[in-house]
Structure 1
Amino acid sequence: MASETFSLAEVLAVANIHPFYNPSVEYPPDQDSIESVVQSASKQTDIDISSRPLVSKKDLYKVIERLTDDTNPRNEYRRSSYVSITGGGSGGLPLMFMTDTQENRKQRAVFGDFLRTCRVVEPHDWILTTHASGYFYRSLDLLSEILENAGASVLSAGNFMTPAEVVRALAHYHVNALTGDGSQIVQVVHHISTLPAAERQEIQLNKIIYTSEPLTETQKSHISATLGPVKIYSIFGSAEAGPCAVSHPDLLAQDPPSGTMDFVFDTRQVLIEILPPSASDSDSSSVPASLPDGEEGIIVQTSLQRRRNPLVRYITGDIGSLHPLPDAAHAVIPATELAHLRILRLRGRDRRFSFKWYGVYFDFENIVRLMQPEDSGILQWQVILGSLESSPQTKLEIRLLREADSEHVLPKEDLVKSIETFFFVLPENRHLFEITFLDSLAGFEKSSTGNKVMKFVDKLH
């Protein structure tokens, strides 16, 4: 399937004549122009990507907004396109990223083959997916087709089935694998945990495959405690690049650093560079050199499956590092594939922001650490910054979904005290602070695009 990808030379050649990267070009090239530059590129032998400038979502959005609104017949961006969206998670306008329809279908086939190669999906797997669909969001059909290409039989449940309906289907159809966004997985497993033991025994899941927001250690522990011995996989991707890597429990390092997650990717599908964080602030003429293996920096991505609308040296907004495959991979990955695969160790989002409440700045990374101790029992959380009714005062609300009380879970009053101490809740600002305990995901604010629980909601700006 690697033959279904493009060479770096031809991707860069098209980028040279594309408005994403060349401001003097009005419209993306048509098919004849693409074939012409690709022919010339095939003769090039010395390809150096390091001299090319980096591109951010903000850079792309300026061009995409113009091209999306332009109905001129010469505008190739609107022709025969697979439309996916991203953004909107914090109230912003979504980014409409167009991919050539045929390129998209080939990528689904290639990545499905990759999942089969990594033995994430086996031929006898029955997988139920709760991914979202509608409101321009495409994860349901994308993941369903990828998993089918990998060899699975897929039940396309979607995000509108209730947890009770999903659980009944898991039992009735003898489903062995559940996939969805992280918050959807938590919701279904939380429902299973509330069932009588006899009903829980009818659920025979041995695989969880989640996407989008990462699961915390508390969430993973709750899944294992509820379902028993289950392998937890994750797929890493984006609207801009599509699916590009997978986390596999049998391919993890023995002792990965706390707060990180290892993903396997195929260098024939995507080129990943790790650059110093300062690189995103550099001008195009002074981009720092890539960091060596093992050193953390910003993740910069070039897709070898996007040619008509290339993705070249794109700043993903994530922090991570590159590593060779661990020795354990030899027992899972065919020998013919080992040389092409690498590990991306993901630290998480590049959270270079904080918010201010009652005169104090709170760093987002510190809040993440506050919410993730295993004894907290927190399965899902959300921070909401808003106004106190019609008052100009800023109110801070924390919404929490916890697992059922047990001897291993911190008492509610102790958790409340810990959170209030962190946020410096005092008698004079207590009326501006609220902790809301929920019994399902229904009470959380969710993104307009993917219906995902947003960790931070700013209703003021």
Structure 2
Amino acid sequence: MIKGHYSLAEVLAVAKLHPFYNPEAVYPPDALAIEKACRSSSADITASEFASLPLLTKDHLYSVVQRLTNDTSPRNNFRRSAYISTTGGGSGGLPLLFATDATENRIQRAAFGDFVNKCGLVEPMDWVLTTHTSGYLYRSLDLISEILENAGASVLCAGSRMDPEEVVSALTCYHVNVLAGDSSQIVGIAHYISMLPEAQRKKIALNKVIYTSEPLTRHQRDYITKVLGPVKIFSIMGSAEAGPYAVINPDLTEHTPSRTMDFIFDTRSLLIEIVDRSALGSPVSAQGEPVPDGEQGLIVQTSLQRLRNPLVRYVTGDIGSLHPIPKTASEKIPEAELQHFRVLRLAGRDHRFSFKWFGEYFEFDRIEDLMRTEGSGVLQWQVIRDSLESSPQPTLEVRILRAEDGSHTVPKDKFTDMVENFFYVFPENRHLFRITFIESIEGFEKSRTGNKVIKFADKLT
């Protein structure tokens, strides 16, 4: 493995000097202060001492980030030689951003590319076409391209602006065997391919799909394999704060319960704790002892690849559990590497996330259940909360893309009734509610930066 990580002691020593964690620090430490802190760091850190450190929440983190971003003082090292990435996935306004040391970022990409290769996602003879997004402050195209190149693949950067017809032409012309993109892009291309003549479909020789961003539902995965054939479906997970850090390769992990996904990560690069949901109290002072392996809770990250702007005990907002990697993985990964790998079983976002419309709260996991109804054929969905032009009354629109191959067994009118019943649509609020069945992925509202389908677009905020 390419060494692209620091010791926990070094990360914690720098964190003590950083305004993310030290309210008395005005600016992040400079290179000399970081070097001095690392030299004087103590390796004797007990588990209880580490667990006593405050949890870092997104609200607190980005309040400090915003202050540092707006401070143009030459002493502000946050703005010095930084790699800027945005969180994306929002609606309206400029996106939140996170700054990483540019050199650290390149080293992390190289190390993660090596990890991707060891986990078997790509090989040196693979040709990858990626439809990830670039521009408007978003950088997933260059991130994924460089990672996959570091993993040994040859990459065609199609980007998100290449239309499906051009993508399919490139897939056939260059004999591409791997398609990469965010989940909604993968579904959209598969949907386009499903409508092509059989002779044209046979020219496509994909055997792998690598998706990012939103998880693919079981129905979406089944649909992709039905359209593209027996492709292997992998995933890469990352964030603006931690960078890329985990992958899905079903060949290396055992069967998991439905509605969860098994990600593999390297403990030399990232520490993950699972803490009880009750641990999340005030933005800075909340603390939480990790729960035992196998138990679900809040996912808390500490990066061992971010030193200049450390990430220590950061609450991601996701729910998951930790597990050992199955012994069967040793058939494909050398034991010297495998001993450092663990499984993060992701169960989704914190179930406390919901929205309110017409006096009722609607939880996102319950909406997911509705859209996964057997026979519904739903490939992608979106909820948009807006208001009437003539009044401040909040409106709700549900946009739905269904498979066109006739595989869905629930008639359109029956499924419409199910959706209306779920959202409590009555005569008195029917004028505020609308269901729109769309014909392609382009019919959805997308984020301004990542060009991703936004599951919940709130135009009232």
- TM-score normalized with structure 1 length: 0.97
Q: Which amino acid aligns with 1:128?
A: L
CA drift of 1:121 comes to: 0.9
8 Å Cα contact 1:246/1:264 also seen in 2:
yes
- In the alignment, which residue of structure 2 is the partner of 1:249? 250
3-state SS in 2 of match to 1:137: coil
- In the alignment, which residue of structure 2 is the partner of 1:238? 239
- In the alignment, which residue of structure 1 is the partner of 2:266? 266
Q: Which amino acid aligns with 2:149?
A: E
Matched residues in 1 for 2:153 and 2:402: separation?
A: 33
CA drift of 1:327 comes to: 2.8
Range that drifts further, 141-150 or 244-253: 244-253
User: Is 1:339 the counterpart of 2:339 in the alignment?
Assistant: yes
- Residue deviations 1:409-448 (CA, integer Å, cap 9, x gap): 3221121111111112222322221110111121211112
Q: Which amino acid aligns with 2:306?
A: R
- In angstroms, what is the RMSD of aligned CA positions? 1.5
- In the alignment, which residue of structure 2 is the partner of 1:50? 51
Q: 1:408 to 1:353 in 2, by over 3 A?
A: closer
Matched residues in 1 for 2:357 and 2:425: separation?
A: 10
Range that drifts further, 366-375 or 157-166: 366-375
**Residues 333-412 of structure 1: matches in 2 within 5 Å?**
333-412=333-412
- In the alignment, which residue of structure 2 is the partner of 1:147? 148
8 Å Cα contact 1:20/1:60 also seen in 2:
yes
Matched residues in 2 for 1:409 and 1:452: separation?
A: 28
- In the alignment, which residue of structure 2 is the partner of 1:123? 124
Q: Which amino acid aligns with 1:157?
A: A
Q: Calculate percent identity across the aligned residue pairs.
A: 63
Matched residues in 1 for 2:286 and 2:87: separation?
A: 29
3-state SS in 1 of match to 2:39: helix
User: Is 1:98 the counterpart of 2:99 in the alignment?
Assistant: yes
- In the alignment, which residue of structure 2 is the partner of 1:167? 168
Q: Which amino acid aligns with 2:437?
A: F
- Residue deviations 1:48-100 (CA, integer Å, cap 9, x gap): 32121010111111111111111111111111110001145144652211100
Q: 1:152 to 1:269 in 2, by over 3 A?
A: same
Matched residues in 1 for 2:123 and 2:110: separation?
A: 15
- In the alignment, which residue of structure 1 is the partner of 2:222? 221
Name the count of aligned residue pairs.
459
- Residue deviations 1:365-414 (CA, integer Å, cap 9, x gap): 21111112341111110011111232222211100111115154322112
Matched residues in 2 for 1:46 and 1:422: separation?
A: 51
User: Is 1:76 the counterpart of 2:77 in the alignment?
Assistant: yes
8 Å Cα contact 2:375/2:407 also seen in 1:
no
8 Å Cα contact 1:2/1:269 also seen in 2:
no
- In the alignment, which residue of structure 2 is the partner of 1:86? 87
- In the alignment, which residue of structure 2 is the partner of 1:305? 305
Matched residues in 1 for 2:103 and 2:356: separation?
A: 46
CA drift of 1:101 comes to: 0.6
- In the alignment, which residue of structure 2 is the partner of 1:31? 31
Matched residues in 2 for 1:427 and 1:62: separation?
A: 44
Gaps of 5+ in 2: none
- In the alignment, which residue of structure 2 is the partner of 1:427? 427
Matched residues in 1 for 2:361 and 2:265: separation?
A: 37
8 Å Cα contact 1:87/1:93 also seen in 2:
no
- In the alignment, which residue of structure 2 is the partner of 1:177? 178
Matched residues in 1 for 2:286 and 2:247: separation?
A: 32
- In the alignment, which residue of structure 2 is the partner of 1:20? 20
Matched residues in 2 for 1:82 and 1:16: separation?
A: 22
8 Å Cα contact 1:250/1:328 also seen in 2:
no
- Residue deviations 1:90-122 (CA, integer Å, cap 9, x gap): 446522111001100000000000011111111
Q: Which amino acid aligns with 1:71?
A: T
Matched residues in 2 for 1:29 and 1:156: separation?
A: 37
Q: Which amino acid aligns with 1:44?
A: A
Q: 1:91 to 1:351 in 2, by over 3 A?
A: farther
Q: Which runs of 4+ in 1 moved over 6 A?
A: none
CA drift of 1:252 comes to: 2.7
3-state SS in 2 of match to 1:258: coil
3-state SS in 1 of match to 2:3: helix
Q: Which amino acid aligns with 2:108?
A: Q
CA drift of 1:356 comes to: 2.5
CA drift of 1:284 comes to: 5.6
- In the alignment, which residue of structure 1 is the partner of 2:213? 212
- In the alignment, which residue of structure 2 is the partner of 1:197? 198
3-state SS in 2 of match to 1:4: coil
- TM-score normalized with structure 2 length: 0.97
- Residue deviations 1:117-164 (CA, integer Å, cap 9, x gap): 111111100000000000111110011000000000000111110011
Q: Which amino acid aligns with 1:269?
A: S
Matched residues in 2 for 1:106 and 1:25: separation?
A: 27
Matched residues in 2 for 1:283 and 1:163: separation?
A: 44
CA drift of 1:263 comes to: 0.2
Matched residues in 2 for 1:110 and 1:405: separation?
A: 42
Q: 1:237 to 1:407 in 2, by over 3 A?
A: closer
3-state SS in 1 of match to 2:375: helix
CA drift of 1:457 comes to: 1.2
Matched residues in 2 for 1:277 and 1:46: separation?
A: 25
8 Å Cα contact 2:86/2:96 also seen in 1:
yes
CA drift of 1:282 comes to: 5.4
Gaps of 5+ in 1: none
3-state SS in 2 of match to 1:192: helix
- Residue deviations 1:281-302 (CA, integer Å, cap 9, x gap): 2576662310010000000000
Range that drifts further, 204-213 or 351-360: 351-360
3-state SS in 2 of match to 1:281: coil
